[in-house]
Each structure stands twice: as C-alpha cells, then as structure tokens.
Amino acid sequence: MAKTPVRFTLNGSETALFVDGGANLLDTLRRGVGDLSPKYGCGQGTCGTCTVLIDGEPHLSCLTLAETVEGRSIETTGGLSNGADLHPLQRVFMENFGAQCGYCTPGMLMAAKALLAKNPNPSREEVVEAISGNICRCTGYEPIIDAILATAGQMRGRVA
Amino acid sequence: MLTVETFDTLAQAAGAMTPESRFLGGGTLIMRGVNYGDQSFQRIVRVRDRSLREIRSESGRIVIGAGATMADVMAASETSFLADVARQVGGPAVRNMATIGGNLFAPHPYGDFTTALLALDASVRLSDGSEQPIENFLSARSSMRGLVASVSVSRPMGDEFRFRKVSRVKPKGVSVMSIAVWLPRQGGRISQARIAFGAMGPTPLRAKAAEQALEGVNLDAQGIEQALSVATAGLSPMDDSLASAWYRNEVAPVHLRRVLLGEGNR
C-alpha cells in the first residue's frame, strides 16, 4: 500500500514524512515524528487531550486525517517551553495545581494557548467555554480555570 | 489498510464514491470510525476545493457550503441567526472541524445543527445541482448517492427562530434532545410554525401534529396547550446511555413549552 508524503511545520520546525492511508495526525506526531506530548484519550472527540493547534486554532489531532495538514503549522505542548524555561501557562498551571494525573494537561494547555492568543483578557465564562471540549477527571476544573485566568493576568502584566 | 483519494472538485469526488467509500468532511465522524476499526468502508474520499466552505447570500437565501465548519457559521455575518446553534456543537476544537455537510449525516444523538436547519425549512443542494427539501433528504440520507454541496435557508425575522439543546453536562454535553422552532406570526398569531426535534428519532424529525396545533394561536400558555399535548406524536426516540426513550417522551413537552415561552435556563 502506497504511503502519502506530508509536510508541515511542527512547533516551527519543517517536518516531512510518509503516512499510511487513514493515519491520523496524533499517531503521526507520536509514532512518526516522536512528539509524545499530545495524548490519545477517547479517539472520538470527547476528551480533548489530543488537542493541537493547526494554524493557531485548536483541533483534535486524533480526528484529523494526517495528510490534510499539508503545508500547515502545527503546535503542540512539546513546543511550549524554551529548554528549561517553561511557558507561562505551564508554570502557572504548576503553581495553581492545575494538573493532578496530568493526562488532560496537554489538551488543556493548547486550548488555553489558543484562547489567550485571541483574547488576552478572558472572563471566567470565556475560559470555561474555551476548555469545554477538554475533560479532566481529577481537578474538578477549578484550579485549571484559575491557572488560565492567572496566566492571562501575568502575561498582560509582562506586556504592559 | 484504508485508501485516501483526494480530488479537486466535488463532482469528481462524487464520481469516485462507491458503497465502500466515505466522504471526509471535518473528520469528526469518519475518523472516529477509523479509530474504532469500522470495517464498513475501505476508502476515504476528500476534496481540496476551498469554495465548499463559503457562506453567502444568494437571491434572498443564505447558502452555506457543505464544508463550512461550525466556527465558520459563528464567524459569518450572514449566519448570525445560527451562531448560537453552532456554538452548542462541541467545544472549540470540534467546532473548528465539524462541518455543516457532515452534521446532515450525524447519527443519533448528534445532529443538533441539522435540527435547526430542519425547523428553518432548509433546502439541500447536491453535487449534481439538484435540490431537495431537507425533510426529504433526511428520510433518504442512508441510501443517498452523490454528495451534498450546500444547504440554503431563509433568514428568520427577529425572535421567530429559537433553539435549545438539552444536555445533562454543562457547559457541553451530548443532547438528551435538541429543539428548534420557527414561529412566523401574522397579526400576532402563529402561522406555518415549524418544530424540529433532534435525538428523538433516527434523524432529526418534525413534530407535525404540534405544528398544526399552533396554527392561528397566540404564543402564550393557553395557546400552546394543545400543541404540547401532541408534542411527541410521530417521534420515535430511542434508549441510549443518556436517557431512555420513555424519559425523552416524558420531558419533550416540558422542554418544548420552555422553548415556546422562552422560559427556564439552558
């Protein structure tokens, strides 16, 4: 069976590989590229832990046919930190105990990143809406919502 | 192993469809099947044509391309009256992917957007240029040949159109049912009402007995009483993990009442 070539940028790096027919983006990132930051949860669009940004917008990588991202820009949690310097979202998630088991965290971080890029000053309601497609079974969501709101405040403060 | 075939135009893709093919829109239905080992198809057919995402006004109607996503509908000024419906379909990631064309084929309990289109007397245009009322389309969708190109609707006046999704999980959960109503009025009285229920049958369905019972009445508690009593006539809800058919039938008139009278919170 012929494989299909696909090229995209992953966290700013040019990436090219061959994918099998029907391969989803999540498998392609994890097994093909070796970026293990997006996780497989439900495989059906319910849990959101596979969330990545495609051209800045959140998408479910497990439901994205890999070859459809040809020429597009993919961002994952693996590209958030700069070496040992964590992204503000990552640091504030830690400070606010926004992760317990951590399985939902990559999806939460990417959903939050997409929100803050568009809306640097979100209301609590807007934060809840932004992560409404991401399920967390540990935290009860409150520390995550607090962390996203706190990050927004810190990032605004830094820019100002 | 699956084969993926990519075409430049919808017409080419339509010509390539076989019983073993599935057309890929946003992927939220088809890729789920792939992930779960669905053996009913071996080929995925897709098109590159970006014009399938267009939303535009055309001779007094709003035409929504089959490839338009829920996020596209929320963003377009032409479809502002449907923005609230689109917003209730999944979280932001799903809305960036899920298409209007795909929603037309979404199995129970999905298809909330299609429920709204049914209440608005939408028309479905196929790749061969033919057009049919959405109700006919839905009753035959499981055996249809060809591909959907677009849907068109008239813009409802003011508060004539209402939609409510009933779910157990807030802010986002799968539908126990969704209800869309279009209530044109003449001289204050309802004329030619449309009531559509989602997740109350194998496809979104119209509650025609209730529609007829609203003809010529005032939109108040007394006026809608008869319609509520026949709200579930013709519907055939099923049991699923969210609600039993019995429960759905019991609560449907309650939720319809709230939609019609604008009562209660989501």
Quick: pLDDT tens for B70-123.
Answer: 999 999 999 999 999 999 999 999 999 999 999 999 999 999 999 999 999 999
pLDDT at A53: 98
Query: CATH assignment of B51-154, given 2.30.30.790, 1.10.3720.10, 3.30.1330.10, 3.30.465.10?
Result: 3.30.465.10
CA distance A153 to A157: 6
pLDDT at A159: 61
CA distance B179 to B199: 9
Same fold, B51-154 and B161-261: no
CB-nearest to A51 from B4, B71, B93 is B93
Q: Would you kindly state where each structural domain of chain B is located, as residue ranges?
A: 3-47, 51-154, 161-261
Q: Which domains does chain A have, with CATH numbers?
A: 4-79 (3.10.20.30), 88-159 (1.10.150.120)
CATH architecture assignment, domain B161-261: 2-Layer Sandwich (3.30)
A160: pLDDT strictly greater than 80: no
pLDDT at B266: 52
Residue B62: beta bridge partners? B57, B153
CB-nearest to B97 from A48, A60, A131 is A60
CA distance B60 to B141: 27
* Alpha helices in A17-85, H assignment, sequence order: 25-27
pLDDT at A156: 86
A109: pLDDT strictly greater than 80: yes
Q: Which residues contact B203 (CB under 8 A, 6 or more apart)?
A: B108, B111, B114, B138, B139, B141
For chain A, the residues whose C-beta falls within 8 A of a C-beta of chain B are 1, 4, 20-22, 24, 43-45, 48, 51, 54, 57-60, 62-65, 67-68, 111, 114-115, 128-134
pLDDT at A36: 98
How high is the mean pLDDT of chain A? 96
Interface A–B counts its CB contacts (< 8 A) at 92
More confident residue, A11 or B170: A11
CA distance B88 to B95: 9
CA distance A66 to B217: 54
- The nearest CA of chain A is from the CA of B194 a distance in Å of 30
CB-nearest to B34 from A22, A57, A60 is A22
Contacts of A130 in chain B (CB under 8 A): 91-92
Quick: pLDDT tens for A58-91.
Answer: 999 999 999 999 999 999 999 999 999 999 999 9
pLDDT at A158: 73
Are the beta carbons of A111 and B24 separated by less than 8 Å?
no
Residue A135 falls in which region: left (phi positive, over 0), alpha (psi -120 to 50) or beta: beta
For residue A71, what are the CA distances in angstroms to A3, A6, B1, B27, B174? 17, 8, 25, 18, 34
User: Which portions of chain B are predicted below pLDDT 70?
Assistant: 265-266
Are the beta carbons of A65 and B27 separated by less than 8 Å?
yes
- The nearest CA of chain B is from the CA of A123 a distance in Å of 15
Contacts of A129 in chain B (CB under 8 A): 91-92, 171
For chain B, the residues whose C-beta falls within 8 A of a C-beta of chain A are 1-4, 6, 24, 26-28, 31-32, 34-36, 44, 46, 71, 90-94, 96-97, 171-172
pLDDT at B209: 98
Contacts of B92 in chain A (CB under 8 A): 57-58, 111, 114-115, 129-130, 132-133
pLDDT at B158: 84
